[in-house]
Structure 1
Amino acid sequence: MSLSVELKDLEVLTTNANQIQDDVLKEILTLNANTEYLKRFLDGSSDKELFKKNVPVVSYNDVKPYIERVANGEPSDVISGGTITRFVQSTGTSGGIHKIFPVNDKYIENLGYLLAVSSLITSKHFSDKIDEKGKKMAFLYNRLESKTPSGLALSSSFTSYFMSDYFKNRPSKCNSEYTSPDQVILCPDNNQSVYCHLLCGLSQREKVVGVSATFAHALIKAINALQIYWKELSSNIRSGHVSEWITDLDCKNAVSAILGGPDPELADVIEQECSHKSWEGIITRLWPKAKFIECIVTGQMAQYIPTLDFYSNKLPIVSMVYGSSESIFGVNVDPLSKPQDVSYTFLPNISYFEFLPIDHEEDMNTIVDLVDVKLGCYYETVVTSYFGLHRYLIGDILQVTGFYNNTPQFRFVRRKNIVLSVNSEATTEQDILKGLASATLVLESSNSMLTGFTCYADISSFPGHYVFYWELKAKDVDDVVELDENVLEECCYALEESFDALYKRLRSKEGSIGALEIKVVQQGTFDSLMEYFISKGGSVAQYKTPMCINSSETLAVLEDKVIARFYSQKSPPLNL
């Protein structure tokens, strides 16, 4: 199978969003109305009004028993009118638990379609800068699939895609759009994979016009790997041979073919650039024709923007797609927008979308269709998919920022349930990111930069307080991080100063929230945290450092690595 996508298709979809959404719902209900789950609400009907009246809005715990029955071997029609052929697994880093969702080839096709559309949009906007032979150095990763008790494949969304015929037969493959061959992407050993991605990208440095990954975290991980391995990578290029520890033979043979033989001149260039004390701008120094960075930097990925700017000389950061394990949602039609201004245009042919205003959460009668959302308003997405999710609350809070033709565009605001609270206050993901941006500005006065963070609400003693775990790195490669007490205490204060009025009152006036604490952890701690989540079934390609920690196991990983702690030395001012 292969996907044929043209940009004019996007114009048709977004112009006719209302009719397409009605058609999608009709198709979904016709397919699924007689499943065990839906039949009790619809009695076999595919009527839209009956669907809206009778089918409840649900969360994962409501549908989990039905999903698990199919995973354990019961027929697909427990929940889906179409045959379930596999399950996708969430990473568990957004909401704290792993979830599994039933899908079939249509899900994979939708993901491939979204990626193809985003690639066309990116090419269009950079067409005046990209040579026709230009390539993306894409850090894409696979992992071994597991099986459900019934024997169906279980993996992340992107592993499902990479293992599919849609990926293997994609039209762009003929043009070799990536510096890495598919064998590198499909290598299940992520350490071997990232090394080979770098080796392929370096050996084709003059062809690299973009550097990409699914999430910003994966790009930072690749730069860290480059700092560790650059001498060995240079040696491989100098000799024309791949290191012996690369044992995946398909991967090794494909990379050897790209190396093509010794290149001592290129090896000299790599050694010269990587030997600099500072790695500021290392991406543009090693890949001089790179014009953009492509990765998701919305939501909790925003923490990595300053680090990407440092390494890339502030190349444009393109955040192209919005999706989840539950459904594919939308694409960014304006790649050159600043990361903080990114909005996603929903694709009306993927799933049936409804929206619950966040200020009317108890009144399900306020749910509106995709085309009926209001500019500037905030909503939680409710999705009905082809595969057994019906009026399912995604848990993302979005704001309507505009319309592309007749289709709304949304800015990702935050995850619904990720908050810190030790009293009656509720500090949201948006509050945390705002505070982090202020604290990062304070940190710039030192020789350190923030490379990873997470937080939790410590209520083990009174008054409870917020704890932030920070991993720091020296801006100059060979320098050791020097912890400046005054700077880090000021960072604590900058975080608190960004929180809302209730937090400040409880902290400053009533004393029922204690001073915010920053715990600095050893370098490599957040890699250990990632390895912990991957060991529980997560995927490197989709990994997101959890913004808030909510389990004793993950806290133990962090606490074992703490090397210093700092507290805010003054209370934040009350808002007048």
Structure 2
Amino acid sequence: MAMHSAVSYPLGRPACKKDAKALQFIEEMTRNVDSVQEKVLAEILSGNANTEYLQRFKLGGATDRDTFKSKVPVITYEEIQPDIQRIANGDRSPIFSSHPISEFLTSSGTSAGERKLMPTIQEELDRKQLLYSLLMPVMNLSRQRQGLVFSIYKSRNQDTLTSYYKSDHFKTRPYDPYNVYTSPNEAVLCVDSFQSMYSQMLCGLLMRKEVLRVGAVFASGLLRAIHFLQLNWQQLAKDIASGILNPRVSDPSIRECMSRILKPNRELADFIIKECEGQNWEGIITRIWPNTKYLDVIVTGIYDGSIHS
């Protein structure tokens, strides 16, 4: 293809023009990591020189790495918690950032068992969007074909990922044939955990043969999803056989979008019953989603478990 002729791609051959641009960006940013990081640090320090936090360390306007390392200590969350609380209480002075704090996010709590408040700025969503846009071009190097993604999302009270899901970056994301999700936005954004999980699982089952990637944000989330299937497969199969959505899913937006997706399918319902009615759940992921190429999850913090595909 012509798009590859003038540029080399050390990571591999891009699947499409959009991927080629992302892979080239990764190559440019990682070719000389040291100088890139030094430049980014200098931009952060110069842009936030007047913040209360940096002024405590008397950098004198210096933006070089050596001065930063010698004067700004490594700290714990607890050491800056009083400052974070000031912001939470309404203090709008430039404590940590020269940009206005747009919202508070919470950590997942998987590392230390407790969630932490994280003040963030609007520009952070742009950085998140950029990061997420680089994931699939790399993953596509291994499959090089189109397919669906069955990934379980869970909206919580303003954690970092929920903030992304609620943003226009997610809601109005452009169509990408290499990164199409089985879960409709209405299900992802529903705050009722049962309704959200149920409708996402139902969609994943309806599109099971088209799914190439199965996952959740954290490995524990994927385990919860499989456990949810163990508890609810009979009702899910009933919905699939009848084409009628479980009345426990009462969210109007979900019911409307599911009315366009859910149609009677006795054959699929019988398959779900056959696979789930016994005691053998080993290899359940590849049995139900036979074209799965890999699991996409984060394993971090205090998680202690295993996933058998």
The normalised TM-score by structure 1 is 0.48
Contact kept in structure 1, 2:152 and 2:215, CA below 8 Å: yes
Equivalence for 1:275: 277
1:102 aligns with 2:105: no
Contact kept in structure 2, 1:209 and 1:291, CA below 8 Å: yes
1:32 aligns with 2:60: no
> SS where residue 98 of structure 2 aligns?
coil
Equivalence for 2:78: 61
Deviations 1:24-61 (A, max 9, x none): 11111111111122123236503324323322222112
Matches within 5 A, 1:25-424: 25-42=41-58, 45-48=61-64, 49-127=66-144, 130=145, 132=146, 134-143=147-156, 145=157, 155-172=158-175, 177-259=180-262, 261-298=263-300, 300-301=302-303, 303-305=304-306, 308-309=307-308, 312=309
Give the deviation of 1:105 after TM superposition. Answer: 2.3
The 1:24/1:119 distance shift into structure 2, 3 A limit, reads same
CA RMSD of aligned residues (A): 2.1
* Structure with more of its chain in helix, by fraction: 2
Q: Distance in 2 between matches of 1:258 and 1:178?
A: 14
Q: Which runs of 5+ in 1 are unaligned?
A: 146-154, 313-576
Q: Distance in 2 between matches of 1:273 and 1:103?
A: 45
Contact kept in structure 2, 1:297 and 1:304, CA below 8 Å: no
> SS where residue 171 of structure 1 aligns?
coil
The normalised TM-score by structure 2 is 0.87
Give the deviation of 1:275 after TM superposition. Answer: 2.1
Percent identical across equivalent pairs? 39
Q: Distance in 2 between matches of 1:78 and 1:298?
A: 30
> SS where residue 56 of structure 2 aligns?
helix
Q: Distance in 2 between matches of 1:107 and 1:293?
A: 27
Q: After TM superposition, where is structure 1 displaced by more than 4 Å over at least 4 residues in a row?
A: 172-176
Matches within 5 A, 1:450-465: none
Contact kept in structure 1, 2:111 and 2:302, CA below 8 Å: no
Contact kept in structure 1, 2:41 and 2:63, CA below 8 Å: no
Q: Distance in 1 between matches of 2:140 and 2:301?
A: 25
Residue type at the aligned position of 2:192:
D
* Residue-pair matches, total: 290
Equivalence for 1:451: none
The 1:96/1:229 distance shift into structure 2, 3 A limit, reads closer
Residue type at the aligned position of 1:83:
P
- Which of the numbers 8, 22, 31 marks the counterpart of 1:15? 31
Q: Distance in 2 between matches of 1:51 and 1:91?
A: 29
Contact kept in structure 1, 2:152 and 2:200, CA below 8 Å: yes
Q: Distance in 1 between matches of 2:291 and 2:113?
A: 40
Residue type at the aligned position of 2:150:
M
Contact kept in structure 1, 2:59 and 2:71, CA below 8 Å: no
Deviations 1:488-518 (A, max 9, x none): xxxxxxxxxxxxxxxxxxxxxxxxxxxxxxx
Deviations 1:520-551 (A, max 9, x none): xxxxxxxxxxxxxxxxxxxxxxxxxxxxxxxx
> SS where residue 101 of structure 2 aligns?
coil
Computing the radius of gyration over CA atoms, which structure comes out larger, 1 or 2? 1
Q: Distance in 2 between matches of 1:85 and 1:214?
A: 24
> SS where residue 211 of structure 1 aligns?
strand
Farther off after superposition, 241-250 or 44-53: 44-53
Q: Distance in 2 between matches of 1:190 and 1:11?
A: 40
Give the deviation of 1:172 after TM superposition. Answer: 4.2
Q: Distance in 1 between matches of 2:39 and 2:284?
A: 49
Q: Distance in 1 between matches of 2:264 and 2:218?
A: 33
> SS where residue 78 of structure 1 aligns?
coil
